[in-house]
Copies of this chain bind each other. A is one copy, B any other.
Amino acid sequence: MNGAEVMVSTMVAAGMGPCFANPGTTELHLVAALDAVPGSRAVLGTFEGVCTGAADGYGRMADRPAWTLLHLGPGLANGAANLHNARRARTPLVSVVGDHATWHRIADAPLTTDLAGLAAPVSDQVIQTGTAGAVAKDLVKAASAAARGQVVTLLVPADHSWGPSEAAGLDTVPDVTLRRDRPGTETVEQAAAAVRAAQRPLLLLGGTGCRAGGLRAAAATGVELLVETFPARWERGGDLPAPGKLQYVRELAGDQLARHDLVLLAGARPPVSFFGYPGRPSALTAEHQQVRTLAGPDEDAAAALADLAAALAADGTGAGSAAERRHAAPRPQRPTGALDLTTLGAAVAALQPEGAIVVDESNTSGVAYTQAAAGAAPHTTLSLTGGAIGFGPPAATGAAVACPDRPVINLQADGSALYTLQALWTQAREGLDVTTVICANDSYRILRYELGRLGAQDGRAAIGLTDLGHPATDWVALAAGFGVPGRRAGTADELTEALAVALSEPGPHLVEARL
């Protein structure tokens, strides 16, 4: 076998997910290996950001790493933004990047770049294969780290792909199912003591704290709950506890937190402002408020919450599992009339089928949806963890590959969709059941808001650099260009009708909701 065949064999043996690929010449031995090794699967993205975002969506839903195959520095750079999001989401992911043959680097051919330098800022680890003979070991190292919730970039020079290799390490192929450590007893006891001592404690949930088990355990503690602003994966609807979400706008988030003397983090990071503003601190909490960690984002917050609930129940502080509080939310109603943010949110929430995966990159258009969907049928929401826009269409693609039996809805801001619209082609190619709802407000609305804070929203450049309406993007035409059937909705009724059609038919659809 050559190095490429050993690598692909090892990945298949380890149970890794598919290869989301946009290869070039330096990766062709890996492409050939995908054909030589039974059980592998390759999915083509026509832009690397589609591949990395799809691997993120896959990893979040499958709880095991998919891998990407990217071409040299430019391919890695094109995929880097969605690797950044995946890293912030703690998604298990192995990003394989081909490099020039080791002896060819010194020639400084046109595509030569500092690959390790490019990869480091968007990776938890960068691993460079050492020799063709020992690639299996390098791959096992990468896959094992990924299974701890890391984004690992594996750089593979072409001669390590085509050179002779042996399946060293194949006897010890790791199980790559995602696993996170359960916080220790002492941590839980200290957290319980802090809760007992607090006047008004808050649990801020992230990571597995937003899974079904985490949410139920959190509710059983009796402590007030909030979910972090951008949860990687949030189970919602049905009879699940339905906590609110920490707001994006710094002032609103500060208000939500201000009432609490203790913010206990369960899978979430300490709450900070998304951006720095003149004269405002980074932290969203004041000095007199205590911020304490029950479980870090890398740890199993759900298990920690169960332990915390048990500790609090033992002395009667918590609500106890019998008294688990259900934050019952009303079932969303199908809206009629004008299409605005409220009716948009209600329409999607009312029509989304049970078991739906909602990839939410709606940005400013999604506030009403998040509230309305609390009462929907059980579903899963994935959100933009790293702020690198262009996450939604690729992540929806990968989620659909991971869960072919679940409908996927991509609730998607228009400006962000323009970054990675090529994902629609992959959805058509693979026949994926994704319904993209474009929130077409023809602007970078969030920047209009931020410019308003500066009092600078009316200038020619300020308008010109935030207006997407001249010309307005015709999303139905773009979808058609990629082989995806589309419809335009100008009213709530048209939207619910278009959604009903899209959700009842297999394969991808797009609905342009004109706001």
Write the residues of chain A forming the contact surface with B, with a CB cutoff of 8 angstroms: 21-26, 28-29, 31-32, 34-36, 40, 42, 44, 46-47, 49, 72-74, 77-78, 80-81, 84, 88, 100-101, 103-104, 106-111, 113-115, 117-118, 120-122, 158-159, 162, 230, 269, 272-278, 282-283, 385-390, 415, 418-419, 421-422, 425, 428-429, 446-447, 450-451, 454, 456, 459-462, 464-465, 467-468, 470-478, 480-483
13 contacts between A and B (CB under 8 A): A31-B461, A31-B462, A44-B467, A46-B419, A72-B387, A73-B388, A78-B81, A84-B113, A107-B272, A109-B276, A111-B387, A115-B121, A472-B483
CA distance A94 to B433 in the complex (A): 43
Residues of B within 8 A of A385 (CB): 110
- CB A154 to nearest CB in B, in angstroms, measures 18
Instruction: Contact check, A42 vs B118: say whether CB atoms are below 8 A apart.
Output: no
* Cβ-neighbour of A273 out of B84, B107, B464, B471 (below 8 A): B107
CA distance A158 to B378 in the complex (A): 42
- CB A281 to nearest CB in B, in angstroms, measures 9
Instruction: Contact check, A454 vs B32: say whether CB atoms are below 8 A apart.
Output: yes
Q: Which residue of B lies closest to A455 (CB)?
A: B32
Q: Which residue of B lies closest to A24 (CB)?
A: B447
* Cβ-neighbour of A106 out of B101, B282, B425 (below 8 A): B282
Residues of B within 8 A of A80 (CB): 73-74, 77-78, 80, 118
Instruction: Contact check, B428 vs A32: say whether CB atoms are below 8 A apart.
Output: no
Q: Which residue of B lies closest to A474 (CB)?
A: B481
Instruction: Contact check, A114 vs B104: say whether CB atoms are below 8 A apart.
Output: no
- CB A168 to nearest CB in B, in angstroms, measures 22
Q: Which residue of B lies closest to A114 (CB)?
A: B121
Residues of B within 8 A of A162 (CB): 278
Instruction: Contact check, B111 vs A274: say whether CB atoms are below 8 A apart.
Output: yes
CA distance A288 to B24 in the complex (A): 33
Residues of B within 8 A of A470 (CB): 429
Residue among A72, A104, A415, A480 with most chain B CB within 10 A: A104
Those 9 A-B pairs whose CB atoms lie nearest each other, nearest first? A35-B459, A104-B276, A471-B483, A74-B388, A101-B276, A478-B481, A107-B282, A77-B80, A34-B461
Instruction: Contact check, B88 vs A81: say whether CB atoms are below 8 A apart.
Output: no
